[in-house]
Amino acid sequence: MKRILIITAIVMIILISGKEKHIVIPDSAIRFRVVANSNSLEDQRKKNKISLEVENYLMNITKTAESGTEAGEILLKNYEKIKAHVNDYLEKEKIEDQVEIEIGRNYFPKKKYKGIEYPEGYYNSVVLNVGHKQGVNWWCVIYPPLCLLDHENKEEIEYTSLVQEVLKRYNV
What pLDDT was estimated at residue 70?
95
Q: Quick one: which H or E segment has residue 2?
A: helix 2-18
Residue 22 is predicted with a pLDDT of: 57
Q: In the prediction, which pLDDT does 161 show?
A: 55
In which element (H, E) is residue 70 found? helix 68-77
Residue 116, SS3 per DSSP: strand
> Is the separation of the CB atoms in 112 and 20 below 8 Å?
no
pLDDT of residue 163: 55
Q: What is the pLDDT of residue 3?
A: 55
Question: Tell me, what's the pLDDT at 93?
Answer: 95
Average pLDDT across each block of 10 residues of the chain; the chain has 172 residues. List them in order. Answer: 51 49 74 95 95 94 93 96 97 95 92 76 95 92 76 49 62 62
Torsion of CA 23, 26, 30, 33, to 10 degrees: 40
What's the alpha-carbon Rg for the chain, to the nearest Å?
19
Domain ranges of the chain: 23-169
